[in-house]
Structure 1
Amino acid sequence: MPARTRPAANRPRPRVPDRLEPLTRKQIIGLLIAVTVFVVPLIVDVPDLDPLGERMLSIFLLAIVLWVSEAIPLVATAVLVIALEVLFISDQAVLPVPEDATAYSSFFGALANPVIVLFLGGFLIADGAEKFQLDKNLAAVLIKPFTGSARRTALGLMVITAVLSMFMSNTATTATMFAVIIPVLGALPEGRPRTGLALSIPMAANVGGMGTPVGTPPNAIALSALVEAGHAISFLDWMLMGIPLMLIILLGAWLLICAVFLPGDLTVELHMDATWRTDTKAVLFYVIAAVTILAWMTESLHGLSANVVGFLAIVAMLVTRVMTGKDLAGLSWDVLWLVAGGIALGDGVGITGLDQWILDLFNWTSMPALAVVVVMGALGLALSNVISNSAACNLLVPLAMGLATGVSGLEPVTIAVVLALACSLGMSLPISTPPNAIAYATGEIPTGDMARMGLIVGIGGTAVLVLVMPLVWSAMGML
């Protein structure tokens, strides 16, 4: 019997390859500058820097330009950094290297760094919370005490968003919370009240990530740098350092939003019901997530590293089939690779002595430790307003760790944590963070309002971070 042929209309059409988007003028200029700064240290003798250091300087300058200009995607720059380190400064380099050159596997090892595994566990739990609607149900339960007054509702939304962002992606948290309040915004009069309520969510999402090591990529970058330098911080220790600052900034942001946008007599009514899933998979997920978070917070009692706990959570979810390979494939791997690129960049800067060379360019050692902390905090805030906070932290952490060994009285933990938290406060523009972009896309927040509020909260929060928190951490015995 001859084979049947499908009607032409029903045949699958060949997939047309996606066309490359034309480069913008900014991207073209960024590429030209990147190539220039990469080549110059390779052909010009750099004083007081050996050949490996010159090659690493080329890679470092290239990363700066590409991350700032976004001439290629951020994750592409991260993997390019790893590739160039392997080809230029490892034992597999295409140019001559010393016999004791670093093994190429150490740079590839950044992709399996324990902090990456910790983040992977956090991402899978966050994905499961969305899959089993745990995030929306928690929001529905927690928001009930805050209904009535618009100011009280804004406070509730900010607290819930911040708590969820401590353990979930701030992007996913923002999307979830907007799904919850879009009907509420439509019921409010147009103008300032709607802007204020909408603005409360991205602000809280950005700030909430400060509270845990898995809350935001800059935390992971700083944590991995500290571990590499021999200064391990437990999950609970990070929370004890980050949550007090998070609460102070949340309170300040809420008071500012109330004063500028929300009249005291404005009321908001929310009608939300939680519909908890009770099937076997959902219950298993609730148990695994709860046990994991509890184990993260009690690391000092059972002795298991937070990284190991995160990996065991992945194993438990996959073995019980609560989550599948498809769920694993859908995680934010680009973020994980971006963090890995930052880890590899920091390793390369330290291995080649580039950190010490950069340190010697400025008279940092004559500056008091507090001044260095203030400068690095300001740099983190400024850079993360105009580029990805992960990229900003990737660029600054290697320098910060170099300063920690060269400036008298400067604690490595202080400078790394300050830098990570300062990068999370860069939120004045729609491009500054994904939560800002999501909020701006609703059409409820004018750019001017976002910029003004973001700058006020960012500058105020950074001032508290650099001037007050190190004293608090020292008094708590964390340093």
Structure 2
Amino acid sequence: MARTTRGKRVDVSARQAPHGAPATAAGKRRIDRVKTVCRIGAALAVLICMFVQIPGLDAAGSRMFGIFLAAILLWVTEAIPLAATAVLVILLEVLLVSNQALLPVTEEAPKATTFFGALANPVIILFLGGFMLADGAAKYRVDRALSAVLLKPFLGSPRTTILGIMLITALMSMFMSNTATTATMFAVMMPVIGALPEGKARTGIALSIPVAANVGGMGTPVGTPPNAIALGALQEHGHHVSFLQWMLAACPLMLITLAVSWLFIVWRYVPGDIRFEIDTSARFDTSPKAVVFYVVASVTILLWMTEPLHGISSNTVGFLPVVALLVIGVMDGSDVKALDWPVLWLVAGGIALGAGVGETGLDGWLIGSIAWNAVPVMLLVLVLGLVGWGVSNVISHSASANLLIPMGIGLAISISSSQAEVAMVLALGCSLGMCLPISTPPNAIAYATGTTPTKDMALVGVVVGVVGVILLAVLAPLTWPLVGVN
């Protein structure tokens, strides 16, 4: 999987071959066979559940179960592209469980527009605005200039410099794709990393970037797709979490996790006596179009963070940069084409899957066999966070969130718990999965540089993930209700 950013192509193909080495012919054939088996298995799951009614479920619920099984198989194995699975889910829901289904369903069947509407869900518009700002930042090289300016106060002590690198990476990942942020920071740091002798210091600096990018994305609704999936699922159930509420709930967790990550990385990898120099000569573009972009981006972020004051939904605000930048001519049709549309479709597929699971009663059926009411809240949050973290280490964060959040919200409904809290815990737990090169694109980028052995990535990923999940279990039940997440 690769993503194109301004001026460079980011290779994240390390999930197929270590350090970018080509896979063997035998390995490719084996992967192809597995994918073929999974495609067949997904088709059989849908076909069987079309004609076999599962005990405890009606016809629509049984068919939805087949769709759900197919989504699991296809998302976990990536037998077809993730975005392809997402749009397939939407189509199958329309054809099998909606009021326009090919086979009869109950009169209460959800409308087809419920599923088609996921492609234009307000959360998709929010994310679209975030993507437009991120691509504009790359087009006008704001990311490189911003990182150079912000790094200057941290130069001197190598450990302080790494703290600055992690803080800046996290800050940028709150509003930009963590993939693009990682690519930008590696562009700044690779001359430094390459000049260091092979060893722990090189590994520590390289690892600090993807860790900070993954953790930083937790801080805002536009930071990473699992956040958008959680917000979309909550909106389907009538719950609105504002941009500011998400930040107030997630940023303390993000900052503490980032601090722990920095302390562990510098203790384990970075001796205090190493020396390196970073080029901070990048300057901001002062052309008229760039200045307009700065103004639009600043106004958008300000409106997002002050939603309780002006009352304009963050989703609506997210459409502002799309319209303003196109109307003024700061960005054009080629910029729109360059947006990461597969990610938007993936988020839409997750929203549609959640709607189908809830509308057909499948969520209650899936979790109804366990007495969840007997589980203490803190332990429940810990378990949910661990599940999200564990699953997202081996499959895409977005796919993990798509599969887990609908069930989590169903669980919250069944035990009269906070749906917002459960959805956010799962989303943030998914973002903490970073033990392997395949866990997330920032990890794959770092791994492809040849500076981050898998064992070191796994060690740091386990420490950061476990600490983050424990913090989730402690902070979520105690502090989130104070900021309105309930």
Bin the TM-score by the shorter chain: over 0.9
Distance 1:22 1:264 in 2: 47
Distance 1:205 1:159 in 2: 9
Q: Which residue in the other structure is 1:88 paired with?
A: 96
Distance 2:472 2:275 in 1: 34
Kindly indicate whether residue 454 of structure 2 is the aligned counterpart of residue 447 of structure 1: yes
Deviation at 1:478, TM superposition (A): 4.0
Q: Which residue in the other structure is 2:211 paired with?
A: 203
- Give CA deviations for 1:230-273 in whole Å, capped at 9, x if unaligned: 22111111111111001001000000001110011222222311
SS at match of 2:433: coil
Q: Which amino acid aligns with 2:237?
A: A
SS at match of 1:118: helix
Deviation at 1:378, TM superposition (A): 1.2
Q: Which residue in the other structure is 1:315 paired with?
A: 323
Q: Which residue in the other structure is 1:332 paired with?
A: 340
The farther-off stretch of 301-310 and 92-101 is 92-101
SS at match of 1:473: helix
Deviation at 1:364, TM superposition (A): 2.2
SS at match of 2:393: helix
**Match for residue 39 of structure 1 among 42, 47, 52:** 47
Kindly indicate whether residue 451 of structure 2 is the aligned counterpart of residue 470 of structure 1: no
Deviation at 1:476, TM superposition (A): 4.6
- Give CA deviations for 1:304-356 in whole Å, capped at 9, x if unaligned: 10111111221100000101111011100000000000000000011111111
| Structure 1 residues 264-279: aligned runs within 5 Å | 264-279=272-287
Q: Which residue in the other structure is 1:438 paired with?
A: 445
Deviation at 1:445, TM superposition (A): 0.6
Kindly indicate whether residue 167 of structure 2 is the aligned counterpart of residue 163 of structure 1: no
SS at match of 1:148: coil
Distance 1:21 1:294 in 2: 51
When the two chains are superposed, the root-mean-square deviation of aligned CA atoms in Å is: 1.6
**Match for residue 232 of structure 1 among 230, 240, 262:** 240
Q: Which residue in the other structure is 1:353 paired with?
A: 361
| Structure 1 residues 298-313: aligned runs within 5 Å | 298-313=306-321
SS at match of 2:465: helix
1:30, 1:70 within 8 Å by CA — same for their partners in 2? no
Q: Which residue in the other structure is 1:55 paired with?
A: 63
Deviation at 1:90, TM superposition (A): 1.1
Deviation at 1:302, TM superposition (A): 1.0
Larger radius of gyration: 1
| Structure 1 residues 2-21: aligned runs within 5 Å | none
Unmatched runs of 5 consecutive residues or more in structure 2: 1-27
Q: Which amino acid aligns with 2:448?
A: A
Distance 1:368 1:399 in 2: 18
- Give CA deviations for 1:415-466 in whole Å, capped at 9, x if unaligned: 1111110000000000100000111111111111111111111111111112
**Match for residue 255 of structure 1 among 263, 267, 281:** 263
1:149, 1:268 within 8 Å by CA — same for their partners in 2? no
- Give CA deviations for 1:10-37 in whole Å, capped at 9, x if unaligned: xxxxxxxxxx999523312322332333
Unmatched runs of 5 consecutive residues or more in structure 1: 1-19
**Match for residue 434 of structure 2 among 407, 424, 427:** 427
- Give CA deviations for 1:145-192 in whole Å, capped at 9, x if unaligned: 111222111111100000000000000000000000111112222211
Q: Which amino acid aligns with 1:42?
A: M
Deviation at 1:377, TM superposition (A): 1.2
Distance 2:134 2:340 in 1: 11
Kindly indicate whether residue 428 of structure 2 is the aligned counterpart of residue 457 of structure 1: no
Identity level (%): 59
Deviation at 1:195, TM superposition (A): 0.4
Kindly indicate whether residue 423 of structure 2 is the aligned counterpart of residue 416 of structure 1: yes
Kindly indicate whether residue 111 of structure 2 is the aligned counterpart of residue 128 of structure 1: no
| Structure 1 residues 43-192: aligned runs within 5 Å | 43-192=51-200
Deviation at 1:73, TM superposition (A): 0.9
**Match for residue 376 of structure 1 among 364, 376, 384:** 384
TM-score normalised by length of structure 1: 0.93
The farther-off stretch of 169-178 and 361-370 is 361-370
| Structure 1 residues 272-287: aligned runs within 5 Å | 272-287=280-295
SS at match of 2:443: helix
Q: How many residues align?
A: 459
Distance 2:394 2:438 in 1: 7
Larger RCO: Structure 1 or Structure 2 (Cα < 8 Å, ≥ 6 residues apart)? 2
